[in-house]
């Protein structure tokens, strides 16, 4: 398995606080890799560094063989890096369909003026995008019935799914999901887990996810990376990670680790 994403010796500081310290791991092509760790371990900081919001003080992010450490966030998105947010980040004044279409816009070629006339190539592009989204995103994620509704009134679980749909519309190579099932009930969680697996198995999209729901992480991930206080303390298959003494200590405290050993 060749790596699609390689994070090498990444360091990030806010003032005197080291949010990330020499973080290294890889996400293999076509696999689901999970990043776990206690609250404040630096998981979201890591995501923000990969997607380009934070400028790491050291280290590299290598995506699909290219060093993207210096690229701005929107260019990284253009290369095939899509993500969702821990707090649902939909555009609340817009419909579900408009939100999803925004995910596809970055790939289109026409500019401000040609799109303004809504004719010729721009129109054809727009129609093509619309068809593709209908087929590959809306049908796929079973949100056909809500496509014309405003996102603001949707239940939380559906909002999360629309956000996933928007990320899929970007036709990403790497899909980064920040706590995709946080706050969901059991049924919603199972639905979401099934969609993530489908995305990986049917589309071959590489998935990198942050999640606190250990059951789901252990079920669907091929690899798990464990962060604590900004450092990688363990990485491996779910079984390896589960048995790792450092991980048990981080989650359950020192005494529990001794008891387990």
Partner 1 sequence: MSAGFDWTALAEFALIGLFSGGLMALIALGFVLIYKGTGVINFAMGEFMMLGAYFFYTANVMWNLAVLPALLLTLAAVALVAALIERSILRPLSGQPVIAVLMATIGLGSALHGVVDAVWGGKNYEMPQLLPRKPFILGDILIPGQVVWSFVLAALIIAGFTLYFRYSRTGIAMRAAASDPVTAYVLGIDVRRTQRLTWMFAGIVGAVAGIVVGAMTSLSPALGGAALGVLAVIILGGLDSIAGAIVAGLIIGVIESLTAGYLGGKVRDIVPYVTVLAILMIRPYGLFGTRQIERL
Q: Does 170 bind partner 1 (CB under 8 A)?
A: yes
Q: Does 260 bind partner 1 (CB under 8 A)?
A: no
User: Least separation, in Å, of the C-beta of 7 and partner 1?
Assistant: 18
Binding letters toward partner 1, positions 22-61, x by CB under 8 A = -----------------------------xxx--------
Q: What are phi and psi of 84, to 5 degrees?
A: -115, 170
Sites for partner 1 among residues 56-85 (CB under 8 A): 72-75, 77-78, 82-83, 85
Indicate which single residue of 91, 198, 201, 245 sits in contact with partner 1 (rule: CB under 8 A). 91
Instruction: Tell me which stretch binds partner 1 (CB under 8 A): 55-63, 98-106, 153-161, 229-237.
Output: 98-106
Closer CB to partner 1, 116 or 256, in the complex: 116
Q: Does 94 bind partner 1 (CB under 8 A)?
A: yes
Instruction: Tell me which stretch binds partner 1 (CB under 8 A): 88-96, 148-156, 208-216, 221-229.
Output: 88-96
> Cα–Cα distance between 30 and 41 in angstroms, integer?
26
Closer CB to partner 1, 176 or 232, in the complex: 176
Residue 176, both tokens: 């980064």
User: Least separation, in Å, of the C-beta of 102 and partner 1?
Assistant: 5
The alpha carbon of 58 is separated from its chain's Cα centroid by a whole number of angstroms, namely 22
Is 261 exposed, middle or buried (CB count within 10 Å of its CB: 0-12, 13-18, 19+)?
exposed
Strand order from edge to edge, sheet including 17-28: 17-28, 3-14, 58-63, 66-67
> Cα–Cα distance between 153 and 203 in angstroms, integer?
30
Closer CB to partner 1, 74 or 186, in the complex: 74
User: Least separation, in Å, of the C-beta of 258 and partner 1?
Assistant: 43
> Cα–Cα distance between 217 and 67 in angstroms, integer?
28
Q: How do beta strands 223-228 and 32-36 pair?
A: parallel
Alpha helices in the chain (DSSP H): 43-51, 73-79, 96-105, 112-117, 120-133, 156-169, 186-203, 214-220, 238-243, 245-252, 254-260
Indicate which single residue of 43, 101, 161, 244 sits in contact with partner 1 (rule: CB under 8 A). 101
């Amino acid at each position: 398995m060749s790596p699609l994403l390689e994070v090498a010796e990444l360091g990030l500081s806010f003032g005197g606080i080291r949010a990330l310290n020499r973080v290294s791991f890889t996400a293999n092509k076509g696999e689901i890799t999970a990043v776990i760790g206690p609250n404040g371990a630096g998981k979201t900081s890591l995501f923000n560094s990969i997607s380009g919001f934070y400028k790491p003080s050291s280290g590299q992010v290598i995506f699909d063989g290219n060093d993207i450490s210096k690229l701005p966030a929107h260019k990284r998105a253009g290369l095939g890096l899509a993500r969702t947010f821990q707090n649902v980040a939909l555009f609340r004044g817009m419909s579900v369909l408009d939100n999803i279409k925004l995910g596809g816009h970055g790939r289109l070629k026409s500019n401000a003026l040609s799109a303004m006339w809504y004719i010729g190539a721009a129109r054809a592009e727009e129609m093509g995008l619309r068809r593709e989204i209908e087929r590959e995103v809306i049908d796929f994620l079973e949100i056909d019935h809500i496509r014309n509704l405003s996102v603001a009134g949707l239940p939380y679980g559906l909002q999360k799914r629309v956000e996933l749909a928007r990320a899929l519309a970007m036709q990403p190579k790497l899909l980064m999901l920040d706590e995709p099932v946080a706050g969901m009930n059991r049924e919603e969680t199972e639905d979401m887990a099934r969609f993530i697996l489908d995305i990986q198995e049917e589309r071959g999209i590489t998935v990198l996810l942050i999640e606190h729901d250990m059951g789901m992480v252990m079920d669907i991930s091929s690899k798990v990376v464990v962060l604590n206080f900004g450092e990688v303390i363990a990485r491996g298959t779910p079984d390896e990670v589960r048995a790792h003494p450092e991980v048990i200590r981080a989650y359950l405290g020192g005494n529990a680790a001794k008891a387990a050993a």
